Amino acid sequence: MKLSCGARTLDLSVPQIMGIVNVTPDSFSDGGHHHQRDAAVEHGLQLVAEGATILDIGGESTRPGAADVALEEELARTIPVIQALRAQLDDEILISIDTSKPEVMRQAVRAGADIINDVRALREPGALEAAAETEALICLMHMQGQPRTMQAAPHYQDLFGEIAAFLNERIAACESVGIGRQRLILDPGFGFGKTLEHNYRLLADLAPLQKMDLPLLIGLSRKRMIGDLLERPVADRAVGSVVASLLAVQQGAQIVRVHDVAPMRDALMVWQATQQHR
Ligand code: PT1
């Protein structure tokens, strides 16, 4: 029920809210790195005040069509934000680094990050080794293709089988470099090389992933699977996102990665009040 990451621990006896802190020019007005850093730190503190117990700091956009970011740029965006947040947050709050780059992983953990959240599941050269050098928890996510092209023509013979096979292969890769299962979290990767139908088939049945017997993280906040269904722009997807995340929690997901922390917390509290009477 409790995962340990160095000096800190992650309690999974109740669902945890991972608040999203994007440090990309499209997220915070582009007044240079210092302004971007301050805005991101302030946003992170606000999300914690609203009920987030994990902050996910990302300096590379991985949404469909997004381009790669250079190492130096990603470091400049994320590391100062992690340092500032770690200095201001107490040890109950965990910091996650959303990256695929080994050097960002290393520096982020040194700056105080507790979780390495990699949408490429440590497949970049050197990433497995970099993660193994740390005591951080690791989120392994499934993606078909690469962010720039993954939505061109997603295709599966066996959606659940292929996702499970991929994740099992990545678990084995982690174990081969000495990263034990007690450090791993799994994520089916909503919106990462998946059609609307694929995404809802996954959300309808998380049992096959639960069977892998590792904690599940789910990220569907404000994604196209919500927007395309509801025909709503990004700004109007909060309710759909909270409901979808709660459906995942009801099926056993332990961590929800969301933008809209306050309404997510309300939803989880209502859900938890019913759980006590089951
Ligand atoms: C995620 C996730 C992530 N999503 C984890 N990390 C993003 N572990 C970034 C769309 O369809 O689900 N799990 N880090 C954001 N990526 C996307 C992908 C954003 C798809 C939007 C879409 O709109």
Q: What is the mean pLDDT of residues 206-224?
A: 97
In contact, 92 and 53? CB cutoff 8 Å: yes
- Residue nearest atom 20 of ligand 1, based on CA coordinates: 191
Average the pLDDT over 77-87 and give the result: 98
Which residue's alpha carbon is nearest to atom 13 within ligand 1?
219
Average the pLDDT over 260-267 and give the result: 98
For the domain spanning 2-275, the CATH number is 3.20.20.20
pLDDT of 32 over the 90 cut: no
Closest to 183 in 3D by CA, of 194, 200, 169, 171: 171
* Distance of alpha carbon 98 from alpha carbon 210, whole angstroms: 23
Classify residue 216 by its DSSP letter.
Answer: B
239 and 227 in contact (C-beta within 8 Å)? Answer: no
Indicate if the pLDDT at residue 128 is higher than 80.
yes
Spatial contact of 237 and 222, defined as CB atoms under 8 Å apart: yes
Whether residue 194 lies in the annotated active site: no
Choose the catalytic residue: 101, 120, 223, 224: 223
Q: What angle do CA 135, 140, 144 make, to 5 degrees?
A: 155
Residue 176 tokens, joined: 């081969």
Band of residue 29 on the pLDDT scale cut at 50, 70, 90:
low
276 Cα: distance to centroid of ligand 1 (angstroms): 32
- Told to judge if 211 belongs to the known catalytic residues of this protein, a careful annotator would answer no
Question: Of 193, 173, 264, 188, which Cα lies nearest the Cα of 222?
Answer: 264
**Residue 237 carries which side chain, given as an amino acid letter?**
R
pLDDT band at 33 (very low <50, low <70, confident <90, very high): confident
Ligand 1 pocket, residues with Cβ under 6 angstroms: 62-64, 98, 117, 119, 139, 141, 187, 189-192, 217, 219, 223-224, 257
Question: Which residue owns the Cα nearest ligand 1 atom 10?
Answer: 223
Q: Where are the domains of the chain?
A: 2-275
Q: Are 269 and 233 in contact (CB under 8 A)?
A: no
